[in-house]
Structure 1
Amino acid sequence: MPTLFYVQGAPVGVVATMVGLLASVGGLVFGYDTGQISDILLLDDFKQRFAICTDPTDVSTCAFSKVRSGAIVGFFSVGTFFGSFGAAYVSDFLGRRRTMMLACLVYMVGLIIQLSASHAWVQYAMGRMVGGFGVGTLSVVVPMYQGEMSLPQIRGTVTAMYQLFVTFGILLANCVSIGARSIDSSGSWRTIVGLGLIWPLTLISGMIFMPESPRWLTGKGRMDDARVALARVRAIPAANADQDETIAREMDAVIAQAEAEKGMTAGWLDCFKPGQKTLYRTILGMALQSFQQLTGANYFFYFGATIFQSVGISDSFVTQIVLGAVNFVCTFGGLYVLGHFGRRWPLIIGGLWQSAWLFVFAAVGTARDPTSDQQIGSVMVASACMFILGFATTWAPGTWVVIGESFGPRTRAKQSALATGSNWFWNFLISFFTPYISGSIGYAYGFVFAGCNLAAALAVSLFSYESSELTLEAVDMMYNDPNCKPWTSHRWAPPGFNTRQEFTAAEASGHKSGVDVAHHEHKILTEHSPAGSDAHLRTHAV
C-alpha cells in the first residue's frame, strides 16, 4: 500500500486514511438524522399530516402537542439506546466491519417505514425508532473500529472524524431542509428523509473493501489475517506482513493480551468487576457519554428552529444553518486540538467554556423578553454559536475518542455499549422532556445545562486518564498502574521508555528500545487477569 504522508515518523497510507474517512460515514448517518427532525417538524405538509389540526385544510390550525413532538423526536433515541447494546453482541460475533454493514441495512429499513407513512404519526415515530437501532449500533462500532485500527500517532484525529461527519450530517440536513421547504406536497419532508438512504449505501459499499479489525481477528485466533490487516493499515505490503519488524512487534503485544485473556468469557457483569480497573473505566465511560448529552448541545440541534423562532428570528431555518455551519467548521479545530493537546485538558477547558456561554444565554433570555427585543435575540444566537464552538472542538469529538481507546479487549464491546447507551439514554430524556421543561421554566433551562458542564469539567479533572500517543495495549497497562493517577497520567510512559515520545518513535520505526514492551504487557495482563493478583503489578511511571 503506498504511503501518503508521515506522522511522527509513522507511515500513513490509503487504508489508514479511509479508516477515518469511510468509517466516519456512520457519523454522517447519525448527524443527518439528528439535523433533519427540527426542520421537518415545521414543514406545512408534515404538520397537516401528523400534527393535531382543528381544520386539516388550514395549516395555521395545526400544531404538535408536547407528547407527540417529544415522541417523534425521542423515539429515535429509544432505538439508538437498544441498538447500542445490541452492537456489543453482534460486533463480537460478526466482527466490526460486518456489523457496520448490517446496521446500515437496519437504518435503511427505518427510513422506508418513515417514507411510507401517510397520516399515522405513530408509524413515522416507529420508523425513526427502527432507524435509531441502526444508528445506535453504528455509534458503538465505528469509534471502536477506528480505535482498534488506527496508529497511536493519529488515533485521536481519526476517531474525532466520526464527530466531524456527525456535524457535516447536521449541516447537510439543514441545507437540504431549506431547499425542500418550498415543496408544497409531501415531497418536502420525503425528499429530506429519502436522501438519507445515500449515506448508509455509501458506507456499505466502502466497507466491502476495508480490512477487519486485527484485534478482533486475533481474538478469534486468525493471526495471519490479523497480520495482513495490520500491514494494510500501516502501509506495508501484505506479502511482507510476516517479515516486517513493526508488524511483528505490534502483533506480539496484541497476541500477549489475547493470550492473557484466552478462554475467559465476558458477560455484562464483568464490566462491573473492580479487577483491572474495569469497573472504574465502565463508570468513567458512562459518565463522560452522559455528560456529553448534558452539555445541552442537542437542546439547540433538536429544537433550534423552534427556539430561535420564539426569540423573534424571522427565518429559523437560516439560523439552524448558521448553527450547523459553526458546528461543522469548528469540529475541524477539534481534530487539531485532540491530536495535539491530548484528551484531558480539552475536555476540562471545554466544559468551563460551554458553561460560561450557557450562563450568558440563559441570563439574557430570562432577564428580558427576547421576542420584543431584537438585540436580546441576537445575543442569544451569538451565545449559542460560542457554546457550539467550544462543544465542537472538545466534548463533541473528545468523548468518542476516549471511549474508543480506554477499554480492555475482553470487555471492550460491552463497555462501549454501556457508555454509548448512556449517551442515548440522556439523549432521549432531553429530546422528550425539553418541550415540557422549556414550557415551564423558559430559557432558565440553560442554567441547568451550565451547571452540568461545570460538573463535567470537574469529573474529567478528577477521574479521566490521558490516553493519547499510546497503543491500546499500553493504555490498558496505564490504567493498571497503581502509581499513575488521572492528574499525573500525561507523564506516564510504558516500561523501558522515559517519555511517550520515545515510545511513539520506537513504534513508528519498529525498533525496540529498552525493555521489551510486549513481554511486559504479557506479564502484566497475565498477573492482572481475573485469576491473577493485583499485588504483582510492575509498570513504570515517569
Structure 2
Amino acid sequence: MPVTFHVHGAPVGLTAIVLAVFSSIGGFLFGYDTGQIADFLEMDDFKLRFAQCTEAGNPASCEFSTVRSGLIVAMLSIGTLFGSLIGATLADRLGRKKAIVVDNMVLCIGIVIQCSSFTAWYQFMIGRIVTGLGVGALSAVVPLYQSETAPKEIRGTLVATYQLAITAGILVAYCISIGTRYLDQGGASWRIVCGLTALWSLILMIGILFAPESPRWLFGEGRPEEAERALCRIRGVRPEDNDYTVRQTCDEMQAAVDRESRMDKFRWIDCFKPKDKLLYRTVLLMVLQAGQQLTGANYFFYYGTTVFQSVGNVDPFVAQIILGAVNFGCTFIGLYVMERFGRRIPLIVGGLWQGAWLIVYASAGTAKNPEGNESIGTLLIVSSCLFILGYASTWAPGIWTLVGETPRNDARAKTGALATASNWIWNFLIGFFTPFITRDINYSYGYVFAGCNIAGAIIVYFFLYESSGLSLENVDIMYNDPSVKPWTSRSWVPPGADSRHDYQDGLKAERKTVAEKPAHRELADETDARSSADGTVVGSEHPAHAGKHGRKVKA
C-alpha cells in the first residue's frame, strides 16, 4: 500500500517527495561544482600546477593572473549556457528521465578531463566547459521535471529542494576541501574533491531510471494511460481507486494538450511572440534569472576564499564554510516561505534586505582596511552572512520555482531553458570579470550588487504574477486574463471562487463529496445515467468553474 499524506484534502504520495529530493541531486552537482573552485584557487598543489610561479616548488610565489583565474572559474558557465539550451531539446525529444541520464554522462566526461590534467591549465578549463554542458543541461531539466511531477499543493516546497541541494553542494564542497587541502601527493587535495562529482552524478543517473516519467510529457506524447499511472504513483493512490484529484489533474492536462494540439508545433522563436504573453513571460524569467546572479551571491561563492584571505583575523576556508552553512540552513526557511507567503512578497522583501546588507558590507570594506582590523573583518563576515540569509530564504529558491511554473505547458522546456541560459550568461560575466572589477574598486563592488537587488525588488512588484496555490494550467489562464495586474494577482482565482483560500476549500469539499460516493464506479455511472434519463444532468465540472458548491445541477 503506497504511503500517502493529505494536503488541503488532496492525496500526496511519499513518492512525490522522494522524487523531488532525489532529482535535486542535479542541483547538488551545480552547487558542488560552484563551491569547489573557490578553494582550488588557494590550494598549494593547484597553484604549483596551474598558476604562474616565479620560484619552482614554492606555492607562495605562485599567483593566478586575473585572466587565468577568470577563465578557470567562469568557463564552466559557458558550458552550462549551451548545456541549458541543449537540455531543453533533449527533454522534449527523449523525455525528462532519459535527458537526465544523457546529461550526467556528459558531466562525467568533463570530470575525467579535469582530473587527468597535470600542468596544462587550459586542459582543466576545457574539462570545466564539458562539465558545464552537463550541469547546465541538468539545471534546465531537473526543475522542469520537479515542477511537472510535484502536486500543486506543495509544488513550491518541492521545486525549492533544487535550490536547497545547490546550497548543500556548495557546503559539502567547502567541507571536503578543508579536509583535503594539505594532501599534496599526486594532486589529491583537489582531485579527490573534483572526482567525487562523478560519484554524485552516477547516483542520479542510475536512480532516475526507477522514477516515473513526467505525466505532462506523457500526455503531450499521446500516452494518457501511462500518464495516469504516473500520477497515481505520485499521488500515492492506486489506479482502481479512481481518485478525484488524479481525474481532475488528468482532465486539466488533457484539456491543455487538446488546446495546444490545435496550435502549430511550438518552436524556439515562439517564446518571443507577444501572443498569450509568451514574450512577456520569457523576458520576465530571463530578467529574474539574471537578477538572481546580480544579487551578488556567486561573488561570495566563487571568490569568497580569496576575498576573506585579505581579512587577517580569520581562516578564509573557515569563513567560506560559515557562509556555506548559513546558505544551506536558511534555504530550509525558504522552503517554508515559498509556501506560506507565495512568490511576490518574499522576492520583494528579500531584494530590499539583501541590498541593505550589501551596503553595510561595502561601507565597512571601504571605511577601513580590513587586513588586521578585527572589528571590520568581523563586520564583513556578519554582513555577508545576513545577506546570504536573505538570499537563501527568497531569491535563491524563488526564482527556480518560478521557472518551473510560469511558462505555458508546451513552452515550459524552451522558456525555462532560455531563462536558465540567462542565469548562466550572467554567471559567466560575474565569474570572469570579478577579478578585474575588485582589483579596481575592491569592496565598493558591494554597492553595485546592492543597486541590482533593489532594482530586482521593483521589477517583481510591477511585473511578476503570483502563481502559488494554482495548477500549472491555471497559472497560464491567469497570465492571459486581461483584468488582472501583477500587483493584484495574489487575489486571482479561476472563476467561481472568492479567494485562493476559498478555491482550495472548494477543491477539498469536492474531494470529500467524491470520496463519499458509492465505492463501485459502475453504480455511480448507473446513477448518472438514470439522472440523465429523467432530464437532469449531473455535471462534473471543476469546482473553480462551478462555484463554492463544486457541482452544477441543471435541468
CA contact (8 A) 1:104 1:134 kept: yes
Unaligned runs of 5+ in 1: 522-542
CA contact (8 A) 1:253 1:518 kept: no
Deviation at residue 88 of structure 1 after TM alignment: 1.6
**Is it true that 1:285 corresponds to 2:310 in the alignment?**
no
Q: Secondary structure of the residue that 1:12 maps to in structure 2?
A: strand
Deviations 1:293-321 (A, max 9, x none): 00000000000000001122441000000
Query: What amino acid does structure 1 have at the position aligned with 2:38?
Result: S
Cα distance between partner residues in 1 of 2:240 and 2:105: 34
Cα distance between partner residues in 2 of 1:505 and 1:399: 28
Q: Identify the residue that residue 473 of structure 1 maps to in structure 2.
A: 473
Q: Identify the residue that residue 343 of structure 2 maps to in structure 1.
A: 343
CA contact (8 A) 2:11 2:245 kept: no
Q: Identify the residue that residue 202 of structure 2 maps to in structure 1.
A: 201
Match of 2:541 among 487, 496, 516: 516
Counterparts of residues 24-35 of structure 1 (less than 5 Å): 24-35=24-35
Q: Identify the residue that residue 245 of structure 1 maps to in structure 2.
A: 244
Deviation at residue 438 of structure 1 after TM alignment: 0.2
Deviations 1:43-86 (A, max 9, x none): 11111001111222111111111111000000100011000111
Deviations 1:461-483 (A, max 9, x none): 00001000110001111111111
Q: Identify the residue that residue 87 of structure 2 maps to in structure 1.
A: 87
Q: Secondary structure of the residue that 2:11 maps to in structure 1?
A: strand
CA contact (8 A) 1:470 1:504 kept: no
CA contact (8 A) 2:465 2:490 kept: yes
Cα distance between partner residues in 1 of 2:93 and 2:132: 21
Q: Secondary structure of the residue that 2:42 maps to in structure 1?
A: coil
Q: Identify the residue that residue 257 of structure 1 maps to in structure 2.
A: 256
Deviation at residue 15 of structure 1 after TM alignment: 1.2
Deviation at residue 265 of structure 1 after TM alignment: 1.0
Q: Secondary structure of the residue that 2:317 maps to in structure 1?
A: helix
> What TM-score do the two structures reach when normalised by structure 2?
0.91
1:212–1:505: structure 2 CA closer, same or farther, 3 Å change rule? Answer: farther
Cα distance between partner residues in 1 of 2:60 and 2:46: 12
**Is it true that 1:442 corresponds to 2:424 in the alignment?**
no
1:455–1:135: structure 2 CA closer, same or farther, 3 Å change rule? Answer: same
Deviation at residue 208 of structure 1 after TM alignment: 1.1
Q: Identify the residue that residue 144 of structure 2 maps to in structure 1.
A: 144
1:180–1:396: structure 2 CA closer, same or farther, 3 Å change rule? Answer: same
Cα distance between partner residues in 2 of 1:519 and 1:325: 43
Q: Identify the residue that residue 318 of structure 1 maps to in structure 2.
A: 318
Counterparts of residues 395-474 of structure 1 (less than 5 Å): 395-474=395-474
CA contact (8 A) 1:496 1:516 kept: no
Deviations 1:125-172 (A, max 9, x none): 110111111111111111111111111110000011100010000000
Query: What amino acid does structure 2 have at the position aligned with 1:516?
Result: E
Deviation at residue 6 of structure 1 after TM alignment: 2.3
Which 10-residue stretch deviates more, 96-105 or 481-490? 96-105
Query: What amino acid does structure 2 have at the position aligned with 1:442?
Result: N
CA contact (8 A) 2:295 2:449 kept: yes
Identity %, equivalent residues: 53
CA contact (8 A) 1:289 1:419 kept: yes
Q: Secondary structure of the residue that 1:29 maps to in structure 2?
A: helix
Unaligned runs of 5+ in 2: 515-537, 547-555
Q: Identify the residue that residue 235 of structure 2 maps to in structure 1.
A: 234
Cα distance between partner residues in 1 of 2:414 and 2:545: 26
Cα distance between partner residues in 2 of 1:395 and 1:514: 43
Deviation at residue 12 of structure 1 after TM alignment: 2.2
Cα distance between partner residues in 2 of 1:219 and 1:282: 21
Cα distance between partner residues in 1 of 2:204 and 2:539: 42
Instruction: Report how many residues are paired.
Output: 519
Q: Secondary structure of the residue that 2:468 maps to in structure 1?
A: coil
Query: What amino acid does structure 1 have at the position aligned with 2:541?
Result: D
Q: Identify the residue that residue 126 of structure 1 maps to in structure 2.
A: 126
Which 10-residue stretch deviates more, 313-322 or 243-252? 243-252
Cα distance between partner residues in 2 of 1:367 and 1:135: 39
Cα distance between partner residues in 1 of 2:239 and 2:104: 29
1:518–1:208: structure 2 CA closer, same or farther, 3 Å change rule? Answer: farther
Q: Identify the residue that residue 308 of structure 2 maps to in structure 1.
A: 308
Q: Identify the residue that residue 153 of structure 2 maps to in structure 1.
A: 153
Q: Identify the residue that residue 385 of structure 2 maps to in structure 1.
A: 385
Cα distance between partner residues in 1 of 2:270 and 2:416: 13
Cα distance between partner residues in 1 of 2:451 and 2:435: 20
1:514–1:452: structure 2 CA closer, same or farther, 3 Å change rule? Answer: farther
Cα distance between partner residues in 2 of 1:479 and 1:30: 31
CA RMSD of aligned residues (A): 1.7
Deviation at residue 14 of structure 1 after TM alignment: 2.3
Q: Identify the residue that residue 532 of structure 1 maps to in structure 2.
A: none
CA contact (8 A) 2:4 2:11 kept: yes
Deviation at residue 237 of structure 1 after TM alignment: 1.3
Cα distance between partner residues in 2 of 1:125 and 1:64: 14
Q: Answer with 1 or 2: which has the greater Rg.
A: 2
1:149–1:299: structure 2 CA closer, same or farther, 3 Å change rule? Answer: same
Query: What amino acid does structure 2 have at the position aligned with 1:289?
Result: Q
Q: Secondary structure of the residue that 2:6 maps to in structure 1?
A: strand
Query: What amino acid does structure 2 have at the position aligned with 1:424?
Result: W
Cα distance between partner residues in 2 of 1:30 and 1:14: 25
Cα distance between partner residues in 1 of 2:439 and 2:290: 24
Query: What amino acid does structure 2 have at the position aligned with 1:362?
Result: A
Deviation at residue 239 of structure 1 after TM alignment: 4.4
Deviation at residue 196 of structure 1 after TM alignment: 1.2
Query: What amino acid does structure 2 have at the position aligned with 1:470?
Result: L
Q: Identify the residue that residue 488 of structure 2 maps to in structure 1.
A: 488
Cα distance between partner residues in 1 of 2:162 and 2:504: 24
Cα distance between partner residues in 2 of 1:265 and 1:519: 30
Cα distance between partner residues in 2 of 1:401 and 1:176: 29
1:505–1:95: structure 2 CA closer, same or farther, 3 Å change rule? Answer: farther
Deviation at residue 372 of structure 1 after TM alignment: 3.6
CA contact (8 A) 1:496 1:517 kept: no
Cα distance between partner residues in 1 of 2:401 and 2:321: 26
Cα distance between partner residues in 1 of 2:151 and 2:135: 26
Which 10-residue stretch deviates more, 300-309 or 4-13? 4-13
Query: What amino acid does structure 2 have at the position aligned with 1:85?
Result: L
Q: Identify the residue that residue 76 of structure 1 maps to in structure 2.
A: 76
Q: Identify the residue that residue 353 of structure 1 maps to in structure 2.
A: 353
Query: What amino acid does structure 2 have at the position aligned with 1:256?
Result: A
CA contact (8 A) 2:4 2:235 kept: no
CA contact (8 A) 1:20 1:158 kept: yes
Q: Secondary structure of the residue that 1:429 maps to in structure 2?
A: helix
Q: Secondary structure of the residue that 1:11 maps to in structure 2?
A: strand
CA contact (8 A) 2:507 2:543 kept: no
CA contact (8 A) 1:84 1:139 kept: yes
